[in-house]
């Protein structure tokens, strides 16, 4: 107010003070601590939306071609974001959004840029930068590894508002969308599974909103009564077993320039992922079904490491040499949020379905279960799983219905091997 006093503990004042301190001191943590103590230990929380616009002036690191850049961002090393890979460009444009709730107003955003090298053990390092989460458009210089030599410029925009949660400290750094997915193709895995060598094998990784809200402190540890799990996590021979499974995981989920990236914005986007496209099993033999819902069973885990939803078609010959499908997806994590299998089907089952009926004329439902011997998830949490999925896909409405039941294995597996002549 003109002529009035400025609130010394407003969000703007605190952020401005920290920004000033960053340009004049090395110990920003101490500055934040002092401000918190002055306010009785309270630092405001904000909900932010970051738009990663793009970069320019990146160095040419590849002998052939220019650069295949992507970036990894994190906020206070509590939550991270990995971008899509942009092929053969020194001026990538991402325009990717990242929404995070309940972030301390004094938090820092750190971004590291890398050059994807398909087939190499490590990606080339381009540079990094750090900035505050204060709102506004930002043009930031990318610092290289040698004497902090500039390696281009990065543009981003941050929107910020006070947290809307009643107690933002209960779920800090909470991912709030958009729901991004990546589809990973591995021809090598296609060979190992003894399936059609001409097609690509695919796995999906999807980031869902609000997993800590719905699952709280619930995690599912490995099943100590399950022999296959014991061979992975227990005994001197388990190191070799885990090593083989983790090598398989790296093949399945390797980030490559050929990966597909997208955002789930509506029910139609989720349904499209379930279609038998060109990179799906059987598509070469059944091109008429490329844009139809594919009857198949999927193996899934919700990771405890990054709260990602990972899945792939189960398949009768799915990695027969590995001790556990779920451990393969979890990268041999000792615990997960949840795991099991799921499949799409016409509401009520496939019995009354005909290929003459168009998919958009059918009410679809997704049937999830807790069928995982490796982690043996608590069946009482199936209701939590259902609530989580309905929270993330509210637009499903009368189109697909998300169901969470204890056992769906028998309902979906026979259909996957008979309907539309597509192998399950």
CA distance 331 to 304: 11
Domain check: are 50 and 149 in the same one? yes
Domain check: are 158 and 183 in the same one? no
Report the 10 Å Cβ neighbour count for 21: 18
Q: How many domains does the chain have?
A: 2
Domain check: are 159 and 186 in the same one? no
3-class SS of residue 275: strand
Domain check: are 260 and 337 in the same one? yes
Domain check: are 111 and 195 in the same one? no
Domain range enclosing 200: 179-421
Give the model's pLDDT for residue 395: 56
Closest CA to 136 of 118, 151, 157: 157
Domain check: are 158 and 186 in the same one? no
- Quick check: is 208 in a domain? yes
Tally of helices (H runs) and strands (E runs) in the chain: 10, 18
pLDDT digits (tens), the chain, 424 positions: 444 444 544 555 555 555 555 444 444 445 454 445 445 557 899 999 999 999 999 998 766 778 999 999 999 999 999 999 999 999 999 999 999 999 999 999 999 999 998 877 789 999 999 999 999 999 999 999 876 677 899 999 999 999 999 999 999 999 999 999 998 876 555 555 555 433 346 889 999 999 999 999 999 999 999 999 999 999 999 999 999 999 989 888 888 888 888 999 877 788 788 776 543 333 344 555 556 777 888 999 999 999 999 998 886 454 555 678 999 999 999 999 999 999 888 877 788 777 777 777 777 788 899 999 999 999 999 999 999 998 998 755 434 456 555 444 433 333 333 333 222 2
- Quick check: is 36 in a domain? no
Domain check: are 124 and 214 in the same one? no
- Quick check: is 352 in a domain? yes
Give the model's pLDDT for residue 11: 53
- Quick check: is 11 in a domain? no
Domain check: are 320 and 342 in the same one? yes
Which structure tokens are listed for 411?
A: 């309902």
- Quick check: is 65 in a domain? yes
Q: Are 211 and 388 in contact (CB under 8 A)?
A: yes
- Quick check: is 319 in a domain? yes
pTM across the whole model: 0.80
- Quick check: is 385 in a domain? yes
- Quick check: is 152 in a domain? yes
Domain check: are 148 and 245 in the same one? no
Please say which residue of 124, 144, 166 terminates a domain.
166
Domain check: are 316 and 375 in the same one? yes
C-alpha distances (whole Å) from 174 to each of 335, 345, 367 are 20, 32, 27
Please say which residue of 166, 195, 223 terminates a domain.
166
Domain check: are 263 and 393 in the same one? yes
Cα maximum dimension of the chain: 78
Cβ neighbours of residue 223 closer than 8 Å, sequence gap 6 or more:
229, 373, 374, 375, 376
Domain containing 114 — which CATH number? Answer: 2.60.40.150
Q: Transcribe 318-373 into DSSP letters.
A: TTTTSS-HHHHHHTS-SEEEEEEEEEEEETT-STT--TTS-GGGS-EEEEE----T
Domain check: are 117 and 191 in the same one? no
């Amino acid at each position: 107010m003109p002529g009035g006093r400025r609130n010394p503990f407003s969000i703007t004042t605190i952020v401005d003070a920290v920004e000033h301190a960053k340009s004049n001191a090395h110990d920003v943590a101490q500055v934040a601590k002092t401000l918190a103590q002055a306010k009785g230990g309270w630092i405001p929380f904000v909900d932010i939306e970051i738009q990663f616009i793009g970069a320019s002036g990146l160095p040419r690191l590849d002998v052939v071609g220019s650069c295949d850049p992507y970036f990894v961002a994190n906020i206070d090393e509590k939550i991270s974001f990995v971008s899509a890979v942009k092929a053969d460009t020194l001026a990538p444009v991402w325009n990717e959004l990242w929404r995070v709730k309940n972030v301390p107003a004094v938090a820092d955003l750190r971004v590291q840029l890398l050059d994807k090298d398909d087939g190499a053990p490590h990606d080339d390092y381009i540079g990094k930068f750090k900035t505050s989460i204060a709102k506004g458009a930002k043009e930031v210089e990318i610092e290289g590894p040698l004497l902090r030599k500039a390696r281009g410029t990065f543009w981003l925009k941050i929107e910020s508002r006070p947290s809307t949660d009643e107690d933002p400290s209960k779920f800090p750094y909470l991912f709030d969308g958009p729901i991004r997915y990546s589809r990973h193709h591995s021809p090598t895995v296609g060979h190992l599974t003894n399936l059609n060598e001409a097609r690509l094998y695919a796995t999906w990784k999807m980031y869902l909103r609000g997993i800590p809200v719905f699952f709280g402190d619930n995690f599912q540890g490995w099943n100590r009564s399950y022999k296959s799990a014991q061979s992975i996590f227990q005994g001197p021979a388990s190191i070799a077993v885990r090593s083989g499974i983790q090598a398989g995981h790296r093949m399945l989920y390797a980030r490559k320039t050929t990966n597909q990236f997208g955002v789930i914005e509506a029910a139609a986007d989720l349904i499209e992922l379930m279609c038998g496209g060109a990179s799906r099993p059987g598509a070469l033999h059944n091109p008429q079904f490329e844009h139809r819902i594919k009857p198949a069973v999927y193996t899934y885990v919700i990771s405890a490491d990054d709260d990602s939803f990972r899945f792939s078609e189960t398949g009768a010959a799915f990695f027969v040499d590995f001790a556990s499908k779920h451990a393969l997806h979890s990268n041999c994590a000792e615990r997960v949020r949840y795991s099991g299998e799921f499949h799409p089907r016409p509401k009520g089952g496939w019995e009354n379905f005909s290929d003459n009926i168009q998919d958009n004329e059918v009410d679809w439902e997704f049937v999830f279960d807790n069928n995982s011997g490796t982690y043996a998830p608590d069946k009482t949490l199936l209701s939590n799983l259902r609530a989580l999925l309905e929270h993330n896909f509210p637009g499903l409405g009368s189109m697909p219905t998300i169901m969470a039941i204890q056992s769906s294995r028998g309902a979906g597996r026979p259909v996957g091997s008979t309907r539309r002549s597509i192998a399950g």
